[in-house]
Amino acid sequence: MSGYNEGLSKYTIIRKIGEGNFGIVAQANDKHNGETVAIKFLKDRCRLSEDCIEMRELKALVALDHPNIIKLKEIIQEGEFLRLVFEYMDMSLCQRIRERTRFFSEEKIRGYCFQILNGVDYMHSRGYFHRDLKPANILVSGKLVKIADLGSSRVCLEVEDDLDCTRECLSDQPSYTSNITTLWYRAPEVLVKSSKYGSAIDMWAMGAIMAEFFLLEPLFCGTDDVNQLHKICSIIGSPFSWYKGLQEAEAHNIQLPVCLRTPLQVLIPSASRDAIELMESLLSWDPNDRPTAAEALRHPFFKPCFEAQHPLDLELRLTTAMTFPSTNGEVNRVLI
């Protein structure tokens, strides 16, 4: 990654490709080598480089280096404003899903989810959780998937095993704002206004994203926090055994309806038994009942990703060794 002394003069701006509260994103070409990049023009003023590096997104991008997390190539400072230069990806996962005229094959869904979870697992293992995981914040180029928009990410301060925040104790977590994560992918603990939550909120979002792959539309389409909770209850049933969540809801005068669950197999009849089982575990009311990203990757749904004959392109096979339990009870360690 280049430093702050590089300027925009080396790039030719092609077109605006995105806009948000942060500013705009433009597609550009490097005049020297012809490489296509994406430049994020931040609208917030930043007077000193030392102040800028405190920005959440910059801190996360500098700390995280993984094939399934968007790469920050260069930081450019123009006066009081920052421009962040990223590798270019064709489109967001949201666009990819919306443009589909027929359903994804389960094999393709597996490949996408496998990559997203690898990125999430890496983030969590480095002490970060995303907090706003959704299709619009996941980028796609061909078969390659990368997690982006880390502006909402946070560091787990009280964690086990040094930086590993995959098994954090929620009671020991610092208080975080509850108004994060786009509504349709927002975890129940956030919806009931809990100020203490952890990386399990990313796993809930992953379950919602996985279901959306199959349905080509969001699974829970609420209009506000309370309505979103009602939508969740209508599908996965009321949280009768999630006592902490029920206490939080009562403390904030949130009344949850009494509903029986609608089996996901009924809503998503095309999904395999393994896929349904994984989605149901990810979409557990109690965050302690959701698998970690590492556990999800070892679910039988992903077993084909670890088999040599599986047609994942070689460039997509991550260079990290992972374990998968074999049918004879032994643990196989493979390099994918």
Residues 6+ apart with CB under 8 A from 89: 38, 70, 139, 140, 141, 144, 146, 148
Q: 225 vs 131, 189, 195, 220, 258, CA distance in Å?
A: 16, 11, 15, 11, 17
CA distance 146 to 81: 26
Closest by alpha carbon to 15, among 77, 88, 71, 69?
88
How many residues are recorded in the chain? 336
CA 318 to chain centre: 18
31 marked as part of a ligand binding site: no
DSSP 101: S
Catalytic residue of the set 30, 121, 132, 149: 132
Closest by alpha carbon to 276, among 321, 213, 319, 327?
213
Q: Find out whether 206 and 117 touch, Cβ atoms under 8 Å.
A: yes
274 is catalytic: no
In the chain the first and final C-alpha atoms are separated, in Å, by 26
Residue 243's CB is within 10 A of a number of other CB atoms, namely 10
Residue 107's CB is within 10 A of a number of other CB atoms, namely 13
CA distance 256 to 326: 42
Handedness of CA 152, 284, 250, 228 (dihedral sign): positive
CA distance 304 to 67: 20
Conformational region of residue 161, where left means phi above 0, alpha means psi within -120 to 50, and beta covers everything else: left
Annotated binding site for ATP: 40
Q: Which residues are catalytic?
A: 132
Annotated binding site: 40
